[in-house]
Amino acid sequence: MHISLTALKPKGFFSFLRFWFLAIPSFQEAKKAKGILFCEVKNMHGNQCTITAWKSREDMLVFMRSGVHLKAMKAFSKIATGKTFGYEAVEVPSWENAYALLQEKGKIV
């Protein structure tokens, strides 16, 4: 399965509002997306973090490049900073392990 991790931090008050305006519908779409196995959100160390698990990387890419998520990605540089990391695994990581992976291996976006 493909694991996708994110840790994002809105840039300010108005960015925070816009971030949530996009994040909530994107998360709702993710929970219904083709190939989704696991989808959770949690605030960690001031970051809005997600763990998603997909049947395949291709399923994740189809979701990532469509719908509200695509709209959020286009607005991202104006509203937030953060890191992402994706990898293949046989189990979903714990929140602590996911956050540690993001800090160690995450790509700054």
Contact predicate 92/4, CB 8 Å: no
How many domains does one find in the chain? Answer: 1
Task: pLDDT tens for the chain, 109 residues: list them.
Answer: 999 999 999 999 999 899 999 999 999 999 999 999 999 999 999 999 999 999 999 999 999 999 999 998 899 899 999 999 999 999 999 999 999 999 999 999 8
> First CA to last CA across the chain, in angstroms?
23
Residues 57-68 pLDDT 10s = 999 999 999 999
Residue 76: the pLDDT is 87
Residue 14, domain CATH? 3.30.70.100
Structural domain containing residue 83 = 2-108
Residue 10 three-state SS? strand
Whether pTM exceeds 0.85: yes
